[in-house]
């Protein structure tokens, strides 16, 4: 993943529709924020992976309540992983998928995410959780 590029999603079309939570002002119809954030990791070429590791900057506090990771081969979604909390390090394993990118969507408890590292690997099948 050394040649991968990561970027934050900034348009509403990129958000997961089933988990957006709006924080409204007192006036009906006015919205001042969304509690969902996400970023995309674009790989340099199609790569086989079966493990994604997320790390939270725990010295800033634990803020992520739950997350989803969508795996893509070009524009085709080939898998999805859901989880709760990240903490210091969250290691997620799954059957091997060949992907070109993945998107991480975070639903925060405190409104700020503290993800400071992300990595994807192809690990030995014997190490996968059953």
pLDDT digits (tens, 9 = 90+) for 89-116: 999 999 999 999 999 888 766 656 678 8
What string of DSSP letters covers 79-103? EEEEEE---S-EEEEEEEEEEEEEE
Asked if 40 contacts 4 with a C-beta cutoff of 8 angstroms, the reply is: no
Residue 50 to residue 100: CA distance in whole angstroms: 13
pLDDT tens digits for range 47-72:
999 999 999 888 877 888 888 999 99
Closest CA to 74 of 96, 29, 43, 31: 43
Residues 6+ positions from 37 with CB-CB distance below 8 Å: 8, 9, 105, 106, 108, 113
Closest CA to 36 of 7, 58, 16, 56: 16
**Residue 56's beta-bridge partner residues?**
115
CATH 2.60.120.260 fits 5-127, yes or no: yes
pLDDT tens digits for range 16-53:
555 555 454 555 555 545 555 778 899 999 999 999 99
Has this prediction a pTM greater than 0.85?
no
């Amino acid at each position: 993943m050394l040649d991968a590029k990561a970027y934050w999603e900034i348009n509403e079309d990129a958000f997961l529709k089933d988990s957006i939570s709006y924080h409204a002002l007192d006036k009906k119809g006015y919205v001042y924020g969304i509690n969902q954030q996400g970023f995309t990791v674009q790989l340099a070429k199609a790569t086989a992976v079966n493990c994604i590791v997320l790390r939270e900057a725990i010295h800033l506090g634990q803020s992520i309540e739950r997350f989803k990771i969508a795996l893509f081969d070009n524009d085709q979604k080939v898998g999805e992983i859901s989880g709760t909390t990240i903490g210091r390090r969250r290691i997620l394993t799954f059957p091997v998928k060949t992907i070109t990118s993945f998107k991480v969507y975070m639903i925060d408890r405190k409104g700020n995410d503290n993800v400071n590292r992300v990595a994807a690997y192809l690990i030995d099948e014997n190490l996968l959780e059953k």
